Amino acid sequence: MELSGCGIFSFCNAIYALNGTIADAYEVADWAVDIGGYRPGAGGTYRYPFYQQVEEAFGERYGFRVDGYYTGAVTDEALIEHLKNGGVAVVNVPWHFMAITGYNEEDETYHVLECAVDMEKRGLEPDSWATAETMSTGRTEVGWYVLLSDTGTSDRTIPESLDINSDGFVNSLDTSLISARYHENETGDLTSAFGMNDDIRNAIDEFADIDHDGVITQRDSRVLLSWIKDMNTTGDINCDNIIDARDASSILSYYAYVSAGITDEDNAGYNDGVAILGDFNSDGVIDARDASDILTLYAQNSI
């Protein structure tokens, strides 16, 4: 997929930009291989079988529909109107696919997601605003595009298999367990931190290689943490969809830990969760006031 996955990655990037849904590039690629829409290695994505069938296969789950595909240029009114209305597009340029996920009317630039950033010849960053001239010239000349719209049906959930400790929630305890497993593999020393046991080790080894590079590393933990941040409400540290005293308690433990340099073994697994979801009052710092505000809200809601 590193050689020829641009069509798959651009589709997944477009869906994420459209409605925040995490489309698993490997799952999409496996499906596409089966329907004759993708050939890994020296192959590529075959756009017509792919976009004729991808809505039926993934549309409901990922919350999108295909509004049509066209031979045309980036300046086409239909494409610009679609972007202005909140839609996204996957575009074909010479030997490559990219995603266009926004249009700025003020300076007439396009928000482009480029998945092959090591290919310097196209000269785009992973995430940039490009002019119509750039997107109409040379290796970035758009010659075909497919329009994708949000249908609101995506549940935007993190896969259940990433509830590593099977407690019903995907939260920073799970990311801490993935990190702990990485340290086990690095050092050979087994840990009991965060409730680690052999069932959890097996779950991590089977399901937690999120970036599909064949090993469990801190990167897998970080990717999951970024999903947790995107998919949960600020203040809901343990991601159980209720903001209550347990969340406040985790924030206080974290605050004590950061300010005094001590660790609270019982709550240490939630510290990463506090770091990403703990600023409940949105003042840029995570401290006792966030916990206090949660407790006040909790008291009001409990009456």
**Interface contacts to Ca ion, rule CB under 5 A:** 163, 165, 167, 169, 174, 209, 211, 213, 220, 236, 238, 240, 242, 247, 279, 281, 283, 290
CB 83 within 8 A of CB 102: yes
* Closer of 72 and 195 to Ca ion (Cβ): 195
* Closer of 150 and 279 to Ca ion (Cβ): 279
Burial of 3 (C-beta count, 10 Å sphere; 0-12/13-18/19+): exposed
- 232-271: burial string, b at 16+ Cβ within 10 Å, e else: beebbbbbeeebbebbbbbbbbbbebeeeeeeeeebbbbb
Q: Minimum distance between the CB of residue 123 and Ca ion, rounded to whole angstroms?
A: 29
Helix-helix angle 198-207:172-187, to 10 degrees: 90
Q: How far apart are CA 231 and CA 133, in angstroms?
A: 36
* Closer of 109 and 281 to Ca ion (Cβ): 281
φ/ψ of residue 17, rounded to 5: -70, -30
* Closer of 236 and 272 to Ca ion (Cβ): 236
Q: Minimum distance between the CB of residue 182 and Ca ion, rounded to whole angstroms?
A: 9
* Closer of 122 and 181 to Ca ion (Cβ): 181
Look at residues 177, 259, 165 and name the one whose alpha carbon lies nearest to residue 291. 259
* Closer of 137 and 197 to Ca ion (Cβ): 197
* Closer of 22 and 130 to Ca ion (Cβ): 22
Q: Minimum distance between the CB of residue 287 and Ca ion, rounded to whole angstroms?
A: 6
Q: Minimum distance between the CB of residue 208 and Ca ion, rounded to whole angstroms?
A: 8
**Integer CA distances (angstroms), 150 to 21, 49, 83, 111, in order:** 10, 21, 12, 17
Q: Minimum distance between the CB of residue 237 and Ca ion, rounded to whole angstroms?
A: 6
Report the amino acid identity of residue 13.
Answer: N
Q: Minimum distance between the CB of residue 1 and Ca ion, rounded to whole angstroms?
A: 14
Look at residues 157, 214, 205 and name the one whose alpha carbon lies nearest to residue 178. 205
Burial of 102 (C-beta count, 10 Å sphere; 0-12/13-18/19+): middle
